[in-house]
Structure 1
Amino acid sequence: MLDLGYGEGTNTRLLKKGAAADVLGVDISHEMIRLAEDAEKAEPLGCRYRVADVADLSLEESFDLVVGAFLLNHASKRVDLVDFCAAIARALKPGGRFVGLNLNMAIEPEHYDDCRKYGRWQTTTAERKEGDMISVFHRNPDGSEMRLDNYYLSPETYAAAAAEAGLRDFAWIPLTVSSEGRDAFPSGYWDDFFKTPQVVGMEARK
C-alpha cells in the first residue's frame, strides 16, 4: 500500500497494523517525514517513508492500493488535479484501487458553518468558483484553532481529471459512523453532520 500526503504517518501506521504487508508513506514535508520516522523508531512496524512531491511522484515499484486522505483538495487548478491523479495511476498496479478522503465539493458555501458543533467549519469567497480557496478550521480540545487552506474544484472536474489521468470508475463514497461512534454520543448527535457532510470518501481503479 502507498499512503500519499498524510504528514506524520498516522494513516500509514494504521494501514500497516491492519492488512498491509508493506506500506510506503510519502509527503512533501521533511519535518512530517521526520516525525513519521521517529514514530517508527519508537514502535517499529516496518513502515517506509520518503520525502517527495506527490504531483510529480514516480516510483520504481507499484502498489495494490493507494490511499490519499485530504490530498486532492490541495489542487487549485484542473491541471494540478490531473497531475495528482496521474501520479496515483502511475503508482497503481493494473486493477489496483485508489481510496481517499476529500472536502465535499458538492456542498454549497451557505452550509460551510453547519458542522461547527463538531469543532469544524469552512469559509470561502462570497461567489465561490473554480480554484477559490476554502479555509478549513478545526477547534482543538484545548480550545485553540487550526486552519488548513484547500481549494474548490467542482465534482465534475474531479471526475474528468481522474479519467484523463487513467483512473476509471471514479466515485464519491458517503461516510458512515461506526456503531462505536454512535454509542459514544447521545442519540441524534451525528444528524447535523449527515445533513450537509463536509467530508466525503472517493475511490477509483486503474
Structure 2
Amino acid sequence: MNDNSYDKIAEQYKNSKQLGFRKCIEEYTLLKLTGDIFGKKVLDLACGEGIYTRKIKQLGASTIIGLDLSAEMIKLAEEEERKNPIGCQYLVNDALNLGKIDDFDVVMCMYLLNYARNKEELLQMCEAIYTNLKPNGKLIGFNDNPMNNLKNYANYKEYGFIKESTSTREEGDFVRYVIYNTDGTEFSFNNYYLSPKTYEDCFLASGFKNFQWEGPFLDEKVSDTEYWDVFFNDPPLIGFSAHK
C-alpha cells in the first residue's frame, strides 16, 4: 500500500475513537473475539494510534507489537507510550511487505484488509499474516462489511459516519468513509470493496482454517438498544476470525 493519507488525518482519526460505535460495537466485538489474551504474544496490524494495542497489553498480553503504515499514527502511539509506559512496541511498516517479524499467538487486523485494492493484494496480506502466526495461532479483525447493501450506505450518519461508493460498487471500487466527530469536524478516507467470496477464497488459498464472519456485537451494557436498530439491520462493519 502506498496511500499514506493517514499522516494528514492522524489526530482526527484518533478523536473519532470517541464516537459511540467505536466503543460499544467496534471495541466490544474485538474483545469478544480476542477472548483470554493473558500471556500471549500479539501482533496488531494497522494499529493506528495504538488504542487497541494498549488495551490488549493491559488485558495481559505478554508481548504486543503495533504496526502501521502511517508514521504520524505511530508517532501518536509512541507519544502515549512515553507518557504512560506499559510495554507496547511500535513499527512503521506496510502489511503488504511485512515479511517475518516473529511467531505470534494472535494477529489483530482492525481495518486492515479493507485496504486491499484487488484479490492479489488481499492474498498477499493474508499470506503475511499466516507467516507471522504460530501453529494453531488465531487471526481476529474488524472490517468494512462487504455484505452491507449499497443502498444503505448513507443511513449511518446518526452514528457518526456515512459510506459512499460508485453506483454499482464493482470489485476494487472505493468505499469512502466520511466521519463526523463529536467536536463538529469531519474527515474522509477510502477503503476498497472486495466481495465476500474474494475474502473467503484468499483465506483458504493462504492456508487459514475456519475463516468466518463474526458479529458485529453490541455491548451487553448498552440500555438503549433500539437506537442501534438501523446499524444492526444492515451492519456496515463486521468482525472475522480464522486459525492457522
TM-score (norm 2): 0.81
Secondary structure of 2:63's match? coil
Over residues 29-65 of structure 1, what are the superposed CA-to-partner deviations in whole Å (9 max), with x where a residue is unaligned?
Answer: 2221121111111000001111111112123411000
Return structure 1 stretches of 4+ with deviation > 6 angstroms.
none
CA contact (8 A) 2:96 2:125 kept: yes
Aligned mate of 1:150, from 154, 177, 191: 191
Secondary structure of 1:188's match? helix
User: Which residue of 2 is the match for residue 192 of structure 1?
Assistant: 230
Matched residues in 1 for 2:81 and 2:225: separation? 39
Mapping for residues 1-206 of structure 1, pairs under 5 Å: 1-180=42-221, 182-183=222-223, 186-206=224-244
Secondary structure of 2:226's match? coil
Matched residues in 2 for 1:168 and 1:79: separation? 19
Unaligned runs of 5+ in 1: none
Unaligned runs of 5+ in 2: 1-41
Q: What is the CA RMSD across the aligned residues, in angstroms? A: 1.1
CA contact (8 A) 1:114 1:196 kept: no
Once the two structures are TM-superposed, the CA of residue 148 in structure 1 deviates from its matched residue by 1.6
Matched residues in 2 for 1:100 and 1:204: separation? 9
Aligned residue pairs total 203
Over residues 125-178 of structure 1, what are the superposed CA-to-partner deviations in whole Å (9 max), with x where a residue is unaligned?
Answer: 011100000001111001221212000000000000111112121110011111
Identity of aligned residues (%): 38
Are residues 60 and 140 of structure 1, via their aligned partners in 2, closer, same or farther at CA, if it must alter by over 3 Å? closer
